[in-house]
């Protein structure tokens, strides 16, 4: 899904010839990216100091869980542990149930795309300085930033009123309607951030009588009647399908969105019309769809999928031959010694 357009070369770093080949490749490279545990590349003799001495223009990106420094440096880092330690998990879920992780691997992706942005920044800076540099992104640091609003409240010492998690309700329980509501065929998210939204949804619900009722006049008034208002909205949404709710509320200018299942997302007409997916023929998976980059460059190099993700090591011989000039007999000897993969058939 995520390795389209790449090439795959497999070298054995435990073999001195494998390390030597990697050093030769790094001498020609613009960027090395690694996500080993902190210190592993140094112990292999392929760390930042070694590679930058060989190639001062090299940009060296390190993606870690907890960073290259600090007391948690060596803790095991996976999306699940970072969600726990970043505060994301504690902020997610219903108040009467335990904390729950965000379903997708948001910390993996937040870490990865921050590292990408940092590497591009270093390449741009190299245009000015002629020098590469090390770029470090810890998944924990990147994940923590997504809680900026909640953290800001704590930094200012105003945290008394913030519940740890509020399900699908407003984080400070300050607005209603603001929730996810059941429909006849799934769920919809609806929120009303203004008096204008309230006026509109009340008309949709056929409750124009509330428009002149002072008990519902202000946002705090309505927040105080959250349970009652949510029940009223739900009584209406239960009688409709989620796409009907979307159509009706969008026409009324009330922010609304259906809760899409994964199956609906992969078949979504909007994503299809935007060519979010590329149809490919993968040597192992067959005809399938993989994502184009969500970063759309409208200039000369848009970054679309040109070829499927490589099989492991499929480009080893060609890359070593083209970039390092290895001969067929040299490649055969390296295969025979198990330094490079896949083994020659």
In whole angstroms, how close is the CB of 143 to a copy of itself at the nearest point?
8
Farthest CA pair distance, the chain: 88
Closest to a copy of itself by CB, 54 vs 136, is 136
Q: Do 64 and 90 touch, CB atoms closer than 8 A? A: no
Phi, then psi, of 220 in degrees rounded to 5 = -65, -40
Q: Which of 40, 231, 266, 312 binds a copy of itself (CB under 8 A)?
A: 266
Q: Which 148-177 residues touch a copy of itself, going by CB under 8 A?
A: 148-152, 154-156, 159, 162, 164-165, 167-168, 171
Which of 26, 29, 88, 334 contacts a copy of itself by CB under 8 A? 88
> Which residue in 49, 62, 50 sits closest to 19, CA to CA?
50
Is residue 198 involved in binding a copy of itself (CB under 8 A)?
no
H/E stretch holding 247 reads helix 242-251
- List 70, 185, 235, 238, residue binding a copy of itself (CB under 8 A): 70
> Is 46 near a copy of itself (CB under 8 A)?
no
Catalytically active residues are 170
Nearest distance, CB of residue 223 and a copy of itself, angstroms: 16
Applying CB under 8 A, which of residues 39, 49, 94, 312 lies at the interface with a copy of itself?
Answer: 94
Q: In the bound complex, what is the minimum distance in angstroms from residue 316's beta carbon to a copy of itself?
A: 25
| Residue 188, H or E segment | strand 186-191
User: Is position 138 an interface residue for a copy of itself (rule: CB under 8 A)?
Assistant: yes
Query: Taking CB under 8 A as the criterion, which residues in 292-331 touch a copy of itself?
Result: 294-301
Task: Identify the DSSP state of 201.
Answer: H
**To the nearest whole angstrom, how small is the minimum distance from the Cβ of residue 333 to a copy of itself?**
35
Chain positions 95 to 134 lying near a copy of itself, rule: CB under 8 A, are 97-106, 108-110, 113-118, 120-125, 127, 129, 131-134
Q: How far is the CB of 87 from a copy of itself (least distance, A)?
A: 4
Nearer to a copy of itself, 187 or 216 (CB): 187
Q: Considering only CA atoms, which of 149, 186, 276, 167 is closest in space to residue 227?
A: 167
- Contact at 8 Å (CB) between 173 and 179? no
With vertex at residue 44, the alpha carbon angle to CA 38 and CA 50, rounded to the nearest 5 degrees, is: 90
Question: Which helix (DSSP H) or strand (DSSP E) does residue 134 occupy?
Answer: strand 134-138
Alpha-carbon dihedral of residues 70, 76, 80, 86, nearest 10 degrees?
-10
Tell me whether residue 91 or residue 201 sits nearer to a copy of itself (CB atom). 91
Q: What is the bridge-based pairing of β-strands 256-258 and 186-191? A: antiparallel
**Which pairing describes strands 340-341 and 10-11: parallel, antiparallel, or unpaired?**
antiparallel
Structure tokens at 210: 């509330």
Minimum Å gap between C-beta 345 and a copy of itself is 26
Residue 274 as a binder of a copy of itself (CB under 8 A): the answer is yes
């Amino acid at each position: 899904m995520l390795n389209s357009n790449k090439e795959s070369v497999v070298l054995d770093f435990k073999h001195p010839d494998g390390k030597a080949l990697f050093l030769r490749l790094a001498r020609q490279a613009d960027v090395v990216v690694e996500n080993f545990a902190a210190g592993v590349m140094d112990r292999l003799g392929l760390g930042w100091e070694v590679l930058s001495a060989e190639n001062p223009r090299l940009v060296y990106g390190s993606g870690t869980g907890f960073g290259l420094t600090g007391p948690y440096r060596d803790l095991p880092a996976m999306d699940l542990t970072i969600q726990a330690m970043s505060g994301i998990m504690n902020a997610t879920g219903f108040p009467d149930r335990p904390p729950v992780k965000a379903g997708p691997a948001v910390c993996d992706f937040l870490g990865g795309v921050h590292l990408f942005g940092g590497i591009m920044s270093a390449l741009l800076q190299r245009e000015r300085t002629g020098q590469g540099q090390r770029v470090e992104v810890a998944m924990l640091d990147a994940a923590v930033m997504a809680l900026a609003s909640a953290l800001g409240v704590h930094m200012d010492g105003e945290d008394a009123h913030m519940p740890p998690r509020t399900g699908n309700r407003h984080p400070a329980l300050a607005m209603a309607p603001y929730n996810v509501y059941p429909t006849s065929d799934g769920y919809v998210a609806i929120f009303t951030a203004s008096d204008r939204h309230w006026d509109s949804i009340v008309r949709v619900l056929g409750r124009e009588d509330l428009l002149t009722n002072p008990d519902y006049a202000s946002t705090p008034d309505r927040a105080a009647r959250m349970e009652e208002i949510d029940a009223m909205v739900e009584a209406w949404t239960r009688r409709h399908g989620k796409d009907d709710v979307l159509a009706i509320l969008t026409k009324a200018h009330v922010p609304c969105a259906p809760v899409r299942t994964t199956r609906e997302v992969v078949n979504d007409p909007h994503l299809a019309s935007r060519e979010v997916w590329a149809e490919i023929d993968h040597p192992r998976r067959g005809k399938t769809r993989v994502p184009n980059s969500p970063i759309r460059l409208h200039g000369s190099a848009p970054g679309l999928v040109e070829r499927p993700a490589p099989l492991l090591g499929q480009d080893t011989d060609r890359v070593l031959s083209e970039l390092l000039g290895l001969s067929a007999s040299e490649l055969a000897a390296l295969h025979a010694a198990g330094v490079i993969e896949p083994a020659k058939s």
